[in-house]
């Protein structure tokens, strides 16, 4: 027989004496053993992967994962071998159906446990995306709380308002003054200019006429009067000009006072804006420190370990609004059915296939062993019963001898004590 086929047959629980009698009819048994080895190997890799993901980031992950894989693979190997070797194909149909139902349930449970790590690995990109979205949402929520705790929004609004006020004040300074004194001075200068222009327009022609008349007249008195009249008109023009200049000086003073006031306000707004910017920078620094702490803690809490991946996997499957929900359901169902089929197939084939000559040989060897054990048990029981009968007869004979000895008239107390001791020893034996 091929050594590999012999190995798989032994894995499947086939007896050596049955293999010696039918070395050629081992195809089904070798296939069953191979399926057990395949399931065991699958259990090793899935459990090792699951352990490594569960201990992700831990220094002992690479050491513990193979050990967990070996332990779980051993459990699956023993369980599968038990499910296969304890099948009685020659039992009544009702008992066969009961055996198949029990083994189908166990094999289904084993298949689900084996398929879950595979599902998590196959759909890891979708799961990681979901975990990342959850982490970002949690970080954003933490950032909002940190901004509120640091009063960053209020500081930003205050700094923005200060900057707006400062810009408005700078634009205000570049424009025309709007104080009441400046408006009054402006109105005064306009009135003075109008008055000056009116007086000039009225007196200049008069002065010209008076000067012509003064030059043309020979009367000295009249000439002197004309000159006085011209001087009065010129004095009115000078007075109007002086009033206009006074209004101009008043306007300049109002402008200067307004500029000084607005410059002082600009300095105050600049200082206030600087203070608000400093407060905003401090709040931003405090918020950034809180955000860094929150992100570090959330990254530790929401790391991509096995439990988080499984919870996210189930959450996506239960989220009706998630576009990947249908793909996960179909893929997960297909993988589970495939692994369950691999696990159930050997049991189903073993249960449903017609008994082969090797099965008959195994069953005959089992019945012979049962008969041999029964005969050995019966033989031991008979030997025990015979020994008990012999012992009982010996005890009765000893008792009769001791009674006769006691009935003798010259029996002493020492002899009675010795006989009683012998009788107790015999009964104890």
170 within a domain of the structure (yes/no) = yes
Q: Is residue 252 part of a domain?
A: yes
Lowest mean pLDDT, pick from 83-97, 176-190, 414-428: 414-428
CA–CA distance, 127 with 25 (Å, rounded to integer): 48
What range defines the domain where residue 380 resides? 371-428
Stretch 238-242: mean pLDDT: 90
| Same domain for 168 and 113 | no
- Please check whether residues 173 and 39 belong to one and the same domain: no
For residue 341, is it within any domain?
yes
Mean pLDDT for the stretch of residues 278-300: 86
* DSSP structure class, residue 89: T
Mean pLDDT within 64-79? 89
- Global pTM reads 0.51
* DSSP assignments along 197-253, one per residue: HHHHHHHHHHHHHHHHHHHH---HHHHHHHHHHHHHHHHHHHHHHHHHHHHHHHHHH
**At residue 212, does pLDDT exceed 50?**
yes
CB 202 within 8 A of CB 249: no
- Residues 95-102 have a mean pLDDT of 78
Tell whether the model's pLDDT for residue 301 goes beyond 70.
yes
pLDDT at position 345 is 75
Q: Judge if 349 and 407 occupy the same domain.
A: no
Instruction: Please check whether residues 170 and 79 belong to one and the same domain.
Output: no
Give how far the C-alpha of residue 355 lies from the chain's centroid of Cα atoms, to the nearest Å: 53
Confidence band (pLDDT; 50, 70, 90) for 271? very high
Do residue 184 and residue 291 come from a single domain?
yes
pLDDT at position 96 is 73
Q: What angle do CA 372, 376, 377 make, to 5 degrees?
A: 115
| Least confident piece of the model among 129-143, 321-335, 371-385 | 371-385
Specify whether 169 is located in the same domain as 240.
Answer: yes
Of 164 and 379, the one with more pLDDT:
164
| Tally of domains in the chain | 3
pLDDT the model gives residue 291: 86
- Say if residue 248 is in the same domain as residue 162: yes
Percent of the chain with pLDDT over 90: 8
Shared domain for 61 and 199, answered yes or no, is no
Q: Is the dihedral of CA 243, 249, 255, 261 positive or negative?
A: negative
Q: Cα separation of 423 and 401, whole Å?
A: 10
For the record, the structure tokens of 7 come out as 């190995």
50 inside domain: yes
Question: Who has greater pLDDT, 65 or 412?
Answer: 65
Question: Does residue 71 form part of some domain?
Answer: yes
Answer for the pair 114, 50: CB distance below 8 angstroms, yes or no: no
Q: Residue 143 pLDDT > 90, yes or no? A: no
Q: Within the chain, how many helices (H) and strands (E) appear?
A: 13, 0
294 and 164 housed in the same domain? yes
Contact 87, 350 (CB under 8 A): yes
Checking if the pLDDT of 403 tops 70, the result is no
**pLDDT of residue 294 exceeding 80:** yes
Residue labelled with tokens 């195809």: 27
Which pLDDT score is estimated for 411?
A: 47
Number of residues assigned to the chain: 429
């Amino acid at each position: 027989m091929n050594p590999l086929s012999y190995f798989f047959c032994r894995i499947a629980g086939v007896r050596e004496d049955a293999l010696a009698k039918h070395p050629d009819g081992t195809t089904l048994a070798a296939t069953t053993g191979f399926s057990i080895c395949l399931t065991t190997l699958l259990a090793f890799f899935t459990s090792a992967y699951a352990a490594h993901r569960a201990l992700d980031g831990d220094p002992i992950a690479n050491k513990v994962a193979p050990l967990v894989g070996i332990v779980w693979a051993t459990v699956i190997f023993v369980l599968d071998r038990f499910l296969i070797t304890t099948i009685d194909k020659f039992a009544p149909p009702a008992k066969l159906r009961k055996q198949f139902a029990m083994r189908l349930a166990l094999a289904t449970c084993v298949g689900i446990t084996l398929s879950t790590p595979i599902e998590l690995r196959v759909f890891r990109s979708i799961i990681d995306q979901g975990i990342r979205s959850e982490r970002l949402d949690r970080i954003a929520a933490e950032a909002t709380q940190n901004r509120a705790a640091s009063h960053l929004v209020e500081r930003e609004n205050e700094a923005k308002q200060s900057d707006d006020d400062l810009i408005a004040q700078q634009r205000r300074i570049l424009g025309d003054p709007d104080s009441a004194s400046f408006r009054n001075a402006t109105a005064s200068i306009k009135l003075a200019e109008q008055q000056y222009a009116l007086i000039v327009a009225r007196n200049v022609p008069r002065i010209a006429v008076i000067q012509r008349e003064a030059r043309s007249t020979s009367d000295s008195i009249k000439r002197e009067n004309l000159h006085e009249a011209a001087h009065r008109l010129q004095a009115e023009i000078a007075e109007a000009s002086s009033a206009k200049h006074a209004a101009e000086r008043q306007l300049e003073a109002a402008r200067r006072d307004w500029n000084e006031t607005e410059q002082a306000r600009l300095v105050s707004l600049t200082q206030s804006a600087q203070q608000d910017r400093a407060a905003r920078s401090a709040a931003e620094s405090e918020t950034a420190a809180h955000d860094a702490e929150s992100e570090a803690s959330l990254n530790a809490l929401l790391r991509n370990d096995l439990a988080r991946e499984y919870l996210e996997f189930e959450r996506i499957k239960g989220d009706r609004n998630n576009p990947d929900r249908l793909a996960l359901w179909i893929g997960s169902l297909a993988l589970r059915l495939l692994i369950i089929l691999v696990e159930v197939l050997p049991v189903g084939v073993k249960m449903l296939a017609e008994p082969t000559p090797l099965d008959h040989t195994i069953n005959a060897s089992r019945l012979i062993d049962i008969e041999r054990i029964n005969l050995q048990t019966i033989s031991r029981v008979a030997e025990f019963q015979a020994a008990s009968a012999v012992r009982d007869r010996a005890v009765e004979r000893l008792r009769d001898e001791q009674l006769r000895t006691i009935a003798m008239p010259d029996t002493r107390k020492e002899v009675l004590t010795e006989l009683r001791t012998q009788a107790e020893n015999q009964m104890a034996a």
